[in-house]
Structures are given as structure tokens and as C-alpha cells.
Amino acid sequence: MIKKKKQYVRIGLAIVIITLFWTVGTGYYRDLAAKNEETYKGLKIFSDVIELVEKNYVDPVDSKELINKAIQGMVHSLDPHSSFLPPEAFKELKMDTQGEFGGIGIVITMQKGVLTVISPIEGTPAHKAGIKAGDKIIKVNGESTKDMMLWEAVKKMRGPKRTSVVITILREGLKEPVDFKLIRDIIPIESVKSFSLKPRYGYIRITNFNDNTSKGLKSSLEKLESGAFPLKGLILDLRDNPGGLLNQSIKVSDMFLEKGTIVSIKGRQNAHTKIFKAHANKMKREYPMVVLINGGSASASEIVAGALQDHKKALILGTTSFGKGSVQTVEPLRDGYGLKYTIARYYTPSGRSIQAQGIVPDIKVKKRLSGESAMIESEEGLLKEKDLKNHLDAEPDAGNNKKSDSSTNGDRKKKIKMPRSDSRYGPLKIEMLESDNQVIRALEVLISYNIFKGEK
């Protein structure tokens, strides 16, 4: 059985190689012949390596696993946002944009190789059980999370409603690990939350861009705009919003713009070069706006902030955004696999590329920790797109198309830390907003604007 499997792998590679050889041999497109010849040679070397490892490696090897890892390495070398997705990872990626899933309700990350809780989501099984931000998950159902991929850990904790999962937590202040038995539930991904800061001044926070974001924003706007008097100002909070679906960022921007370009994307293929335009709205939103951003605002968040900034529809306040100005697409492959890869760069209405540069705020205001007089360390210490290995340049011809390697940043690498992002998953409370110096500053800007306009 194993021999047959190996034969299938080699036969598959041989077919690919023969096909490429035929393409070269036909004489079509002479300018591509040399390139195809190099591809043929490379595939032949790859086939030779697979055969030698299969025959002679000290332990038996899984040819399929070797090939998968080789493909993953090839794709990941392109840029930090491209990846080859095994069926489980492809399925998890699709679930993340659908608005709800079965699970325990925690946001996690890998911190120094350890699975760490960023925050429990309010009202979920994890939140009710007492899981806290900073908890380290060392086991899931008794299986160690050491060397486990993030998507693997997520998959193990997700599952049908009313089924159970046991996570083992290591918490600062506790001498021994603690087991939590949690009953899974349907976890809604509420991407839009709103609040009235004071009469006629609204606040809306968008935590990510999923399938339900534009619908949620429309509902929040209608609620804030339904008062007896017109809205006098709106704060749109995009801080620590990592992005999401491109079409949702366009719909969100379109709700505030009446005409003109929202964003343009430019790739090598004509099909990947598009300009997205705004349309007239039934409800013209002419009230002033302030958009809050920081180093954790990326991708779709930057599209919205850039569009509103360029059209002079909103004033941008906070700190420079992350700088992810590239567009990825996900292509389904055979046997449930998927390929996520970069197809284009995006540009704001004025033609600015945000890639590795970010949106620069009109008014720079650093975040102040609650109860402290000193500001949080400058965003220079936070991880940005330009710090990622193999990141794309702002323009396709910049630096002779060479991608930067963060390992050449010297001392900067030692300073890098992840941005604070736990607050965006918590409940929206007036007490929290009243102690947020960036929110207060934004409100002051809106009030001042109306004073200068002569409104009481």
C-alpha cells in the first residue's frame, strides 16, 4: 500500500514535469522557454530529493506530508500573508468570516510559543467559567499545546453546541495548573457595537470586518440617527481592528460617502485591478466624524480610514496604523485544501499605498493607560507590517522588487511587542469610554467643531 502511494506521488510529479517539458518543446512563446526550462529543472531536482529521502532516510517518511510542507514553505516565502491551507485550516478560515461558530468564546494568540488568552468574549462559556486575559492554555483535552499550530488549537476547542472540552490553564499567581471543563455554545461574532456618549453624539466600535459588519453598522447608525434631533457628531473606533473582508470595508465606507473612489486595487493581472466607487445614499450623513486608529488597525480598517480621510469626510485621530496594504484571495484546491495568496496592493482615493507605511492620523494622540498620567510607549515599539519577514514594498518596483527581512532590523527586533488588543472584545461600557483619553479627545474635537459652526 505504501509502495503504491509512493508510486502515485512520483507519477503525479512526472506528469507535471512531462507537461512542462512539452510546453517548452512546442516552441511557443520563446521568451518563456528559458523560464519553463528552469521550472522543469527545479521540479526534476525536487522529484530526485523526494525519491532519495523515501529510499534512504533513516526512518520511514510520509511523502504526502513532505510535499505539503514543501508547498507551505514555498508559499510562505512569498510574503507573510500567503499560506497553503490544509483542509482543517481552510475550514476554520471560512468559519471566521461567517458571523458565528460553536466554541467556548475566547480570543487566543501564540505568545513566545505559548497558547495565550487575549480575552474571553463577554457572555460566553469561557467568560462565565472565569477564564482571564493572560491565561496560558497548556493542554486541550489532556493534549499538550506545545508546538501546536494556532489553527490546530482553535479547531480542538471549537465544536458542536452542548459538547464539552477541557482546557488546562496556567495562571500567574496560581502554583499549579487548573482544569476548566467547558460546555460549548454558539459564539456570535458581534463586530459592531454602538453607544450614545452624550445627547446627539454617537460612538461606534467595529472590531473586525465579517459577513455581518455592514448590516450591523447600518442598524447602529439607524438607532443613533433616530433621535428627536439630528446627530451632531460620530466617533468611529477602528482601533485594534485587524481587518477582514474587503467587500465589507467598501460597504462601510460607502455608507458615509456620496461619490468618488473608495479604494483601488492593482495587481499583475487585469482581473485583479479594480476601482471601487461610492454611491449616493438615501440618508446623507453630513455630520462631522472622527475615526480612531492605532498600530493594531490593519487592512480593511485602513481602507475605511484612508477613504474617509482622503474625501475629507472624517478626521483621523490616534497613532499610525499597521500598514497592511495588500489584498489576499483564497482559492479552493482539490481534496479540501486551500491557497491564500496575495494578488494586489490597494490604494486610497488619492493614490496612496498603505503597504508597510500605514495611515498617518491627522491628530496624533497616544493611548493613556487608565489611571496613569504617562502615555503608553510610542508605536515604534509595536509590531507593524514593515517588521514582518518578506513583507511587500509599498510599490511593486520599490527596492527592485526585493522584500524586506525583519531580521536585518538590528536592535528594533528586540523592542517589538504585540499591540494591546484585549479591550476590543470586552463589553461596551460608558465608564470605559469616559476613561479613554483618545475617545475623550475625539469627543472634544466634535464639540469644538460645532461651537465654531455657531451651534448651541
Residues 6+ apart with CB under 8 A from 284: 258
Find where cell 489576499 sits.
328
Q: How far apart are CA 46 and CA 357, in angstroms?
A: 38
Q: What is the pLDDT of residues 230-264, one digit of tens each?
A: 999 999 999 988 788 899 999 999 999 999 999 99
Is the distance from CB of 247 to CB of 234 less than 8 angstroms? Answer: no
CA atoms 429, 431, 436, 442: torsion sign: positive
Q: Which of 324, 367, 384, 386 is catalytic?
A: 324
Q: Which of 299, 321, 353, 404 is catalytic?
A: 299
Check residue 373 and give its pLDDT. 44
pLDDT at 43 over 70: yes
Phi then psi dihedrals of residue 79, to 5 deg = -165, 165
Check residue 38 and give its pLDDT. 86
Between 251-255, 267-271, 423-427, the lowest mean confidence (pLDDT) is in: 423-427
C-alpha cell at 57: 532516510
Q: How far apart are CA 73 and CA 83, in angstroms?
A: 8
pLDDT at 405 over 60: no
Q: How far apart are CA 402 and CA 398, in angstroms?
A: 8
| Confidence class for position 413, pLDDT limits 50, 70, 90 | very low
Q: How far apart are CA 297 and CA 424, in angstroms?
A: 11
Distances (CA, A) of 268 to 273, 332, 438: 8, 21, 40
**126-135, 280-289, 398-407, 430-439: range with highest mean pLDDT:** 280-289
Check residue 432 and give its pLDDT. 80
For the question of residue 310 being annotated catalytic, the response is: yes
Find where cell 496592493 sits.
345
> Count of residues for the chain?
456
Domain spans, the chain: 2-77, 89-188, 192-452
| Confidence class for position 419, pLDDT limits 50, 70, 90 | very low
Q: How far apart are CA 361 and CA 364, in angstroms?
A: 6
Closest alpha carbon to 135 in 165, 103, 168, 102: 168
C-alpha cell at 74: 514555498
* CATH assignment, 89-188: 2.30.42.10
pLDDT at 313 over 90: yes
Average pLDDT of the residues in 124-147: 91
Fold adopted by 192-452: 2-enoyl-CoA Hydratase; Chain A, domain 1 (3.90.226)
**Rg for the chain, CA atoms, rounded:** 25
192-452 and 89-188 share a CATH fold: no
C-alpha cell at 419: 499591540
Q: What is the pLDDT of residues 357-401, one digit of tens each?
A: 999 999 999 988 654 444 444 444 566 778 767 788 888 875 544
Average pLDDT of the residues in 123-152: 89
Check residue 435 and give its pLDDT. 86
Is the distance from CB of 288 to CB of 316 less than 8 angstroms? Answer: no
User: What average pLDDT is seen over the chain?
Assistant: 82
Average pLDDT of the residues in 109-135: 82
pLDDT at 409 over 70: no
Q: Which of 185, 237, 254, 310 is catalytic?
A: 310
Check residue 424 and give its pLDDT. 57
Q: How far apart are CA 30 and CA 20, in angstroms?
A: 14
Closest alpha carbon to 366 in 283, 293, 257, 448: 293
Check residue 81 and give its pLDDT. 85
Average pLDDT of the residues in 72-98: 82
Q: HEC string of the chain?
A: CHHHHHHHHHHHHHHHHHHHHHHHHCCCCHHHHHHHHHHHHHHHHHHHHHHHHHHHCCCCCCHHHHHHHHHHHHHHCCCCCCEEECHHHHHHHHHHCCCEEEECCEEEEEECCEEEEEEECCCCHHHHHCCCCCCEEEEECCEECCCCCHHHHHHHHCCCCCCEEEEEEECCCCCCCEEEEEECEEEECCCEEEEEEECCEEEEEECCECCCHHHHHHHHHHHHCCCCCCCCEEEEECCCCCCECHHHHHHHHHCCCCCCEEEEEECCCHHHCEEEECCCCCCCCCCCEEEEECCCCCCHHHHHHHHHHHCCCCEEEECCCCCCCEEEEEEECHHHCEEEEEEEEEECCCCCECCCCCCCCCEECCCECCCCCCECCCHHHECCHHHCCCECCCCCCHHHHCCECHHHCCCHHHHCECCCCHHHHCCCCHHHHHCCHHHHHHHHHHHHHHHHCCCC
Between 112-126, 331-345, 407-421, 422-436, the lowest mean confidence (pLDDT) is in: 407-421
Task: Tell which wins on pLDDT, 169 or 149.
Answer: 169
For the question of residue 254 being annotated catalytic, the response is: no
Question: Strand pairing of 289-293 and 233-237?
Answer: parallel
Average pLDDT of the residues in 275-298: 94
pLDDT at 184 over 80: yes
Q: What is the pLDDT of residues 434-449, one digit of tens each?
A: 889 999 999 999 999 9
pLDDT at 5 over 70: no
Task: Tell which wins on pLDDT, 437 or 404.
Answer: 437
| Confidence class for position 284, pLDDT limits 50, 70, 90 | very high
Q: Which amino acid is at 5?
A: K
